[in-house]
Amino acid sequence: MTDATRDLAAATASLRDADEALRFLRDLCTVTELRELTARWEVARLLDAGTSYHEISERTGASSATISRVNQWLRYGRDGYRLVLDRQSGGPR
């Protein structure tokens, strides 16, 4: 991980609430990039809820490749998805 990436993570962590985060994301990302990030997050939430690939694809328009990639990071990544999913649900699953 580069120093610039760590700096971006620190900048993100300094945000106080969802409104500040949204303002930062809108300035940082293009509309397309923000849509892609949003789609990946929605896929992660649906996978965590046990939704099938087919239903996720129908609901989000995500390709099976995107769903599979998110699923791999959700299962075998660095637990970033898991950390946030658990915090949003009120605790570990």
Q: How confident is the model at residue 90 (pLDDT cuts 50, 70, 90)?
A: confident
Domain of 77 in residue numbering reads as: 3-89
Tokens matching residue 64? 């099976």
- pLDDT above 70 covers a percentage of the chain that reads 97
CATH number of the domain to which 78 belongs: 1.10.1270.10
- Supply the pLDDT for residue 38: 96
C-alpha 20/C-alpha 2 separation (Å) is 24
Total domain count, the chain: 1
Using a 10 angstrom Cβ sphere, with 0-12 exposed, 13-18 middle and 19 or more buried, the burial of residue 49 is exposed
Q: pLDDT tens for residues 43-71?
A: 999 999 999 999 999 999 999 999 999 99
Q: Report the mean per-residue pLDDT for the chain.
A: 96
C-alpha 74/C-alpha 47 separation (Å) is 9
Instruction: Tell me the whole-structure pTM to 2 decimals.
Output: 0.88
